[in-house]
């Protein structure tokens, strides 16, 4: 059985304060960068692959780590944050003052397409997009495992630098709990939080004749979510 671990690292604190920070492209604060480096220092090595959201609060940090480790960086637009439409970049107070009923409706049931902010991305579409990005990471790792020179190599570890909303979608997918309001309305994911997912490829048993293209066709995949971690000093 081949296996891999995907380590998800949420970006750190950003400039702009408490805003609906979807796809608005804002930089990290100095504290945000520091917390991300502290969090990454707790990740067991080695890291063989690095992926990132294209937004600068993720990509700049990921590029720095990739350079340190002499690894290529794969940027996946599918792993960027949800698009909040007209709410993007506004403070939560301003959003509530302008649209109190819609803000409450979205908070209580974000999966309802009717509750999506104007010009925004529905959570259903967001979930499907993130799932595609997640599977792209898994596919890349599967091909790397099969391309390894040493036959005994059966595990890899990848780093994905991304967003809280993306991590919630990954949780929902792995736990087979899609359209769970609680993951978005009642779960806090702090800045620079770490979550990992173990990936297992269940290969055909030895007494089954493999397909001719078995090395390129992925077998069944199963997952295990490891409880999200944060730095002991992070009290937010």
Q: What is the pLDDT of residues 15-49, one digit of tens each?
A: 999 999 999 999 999 999 999 999 999 999 999 99
Determine the pLDDT at residue 234: 43
Mean pLDDT of 70-87: 98
Asked whether the predicted pLDDT for residue 210 surpasses 60, the reply is no
Run of H or E including 49: strand 49-52
| Mean pLDDT within 49-71 | 98
Supply the pLDDT for residue 154: 72
Q: In this structure, which long-range contacts are made by residues 90-98, counting pairs with CB atoms below 8 Å and at least 24 apart in sequence? A: 90/19, 90/20, 91/17, 91/18, 91/19, 91/20, 92/18, 92/19, 92/20, 95/20
Q: What is the pLDDT of residues 137-161, one digit of tens each?
A: 999 999 998 887 665 567 899 999 9
pLDDT tens digit string along 88-140?
999 999 999 999 999 999 999 999 999 999 999 999 999 999 999 999 999 99
Please check the confidence at residue 209 and state whether its pLDDT lies above 60: no
Each residue of 170-190: pLDDT tens digit?
Answer: 999 999 998 889 999 899 999
pLDDT category at 203 given cuts 50, 70, 90 is confident
* DSSP classification of residue 183: H
Instruction: Give the start-to-end residue ranges of the domains of the chain.
Output: 2-84+122-229
Tokens representing residue 93 in the block: 């107070």
Which CATH superfamily, name and number, covers 2-84+122-229? Phosphoglycerate mutase-like (3.40.50.1240)
**Best CA proximity match to 87, nearest among 113, 118, 57:** 118
């Amino acid at each position: 059985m081949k296996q891999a671990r995907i380590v998800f690292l949420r970006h750190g604190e950003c400039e702009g304060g408490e805003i609906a920070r979807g796809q608005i492209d804002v930089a990290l604060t100095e504290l945000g960068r520091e917390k991300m480096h502290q969090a990454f220092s707790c990740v067991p090595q080695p890291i063989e692959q690095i992926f990132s959201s294209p937004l600068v609060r993720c990509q700049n940090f990921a590029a720095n780590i990739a350079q340190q480790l002499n690894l290529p960086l794969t940027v996946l637009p599918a792993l960027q944050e949800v698009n909040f439409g007209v709410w993007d970049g506004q403070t939560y107070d301003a959003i509530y003052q302008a649209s109190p009923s819609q803000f409450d409706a979205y908070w209580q049931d974000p999966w309802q397409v009717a509750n999506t902010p104007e010009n925004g991305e529905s959570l259903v579409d967001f979930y499907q997009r993130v799932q595609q990005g997640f599977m792209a990471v898994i596919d890349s790792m599967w091909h790397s495992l099969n391309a390894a020179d040493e036959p005994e190599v059966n595990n890899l570890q990848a780093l994905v630098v991304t967003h809280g909303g993306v991590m919630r979608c990954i949780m929902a997918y792995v736990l087979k709990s899609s359209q769970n309001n609680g993951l978005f309305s009642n779960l806090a994911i702090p800045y620079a939080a770490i979550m990992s997912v173990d990936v297992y490829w269940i290969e055909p048993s030895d007494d089954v004749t493999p397909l001719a293209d078995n090395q390129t066709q992925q077998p069944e995949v199963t997952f295990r979510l490891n409880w999200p971690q944060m730095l002991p000093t992070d009290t937010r």
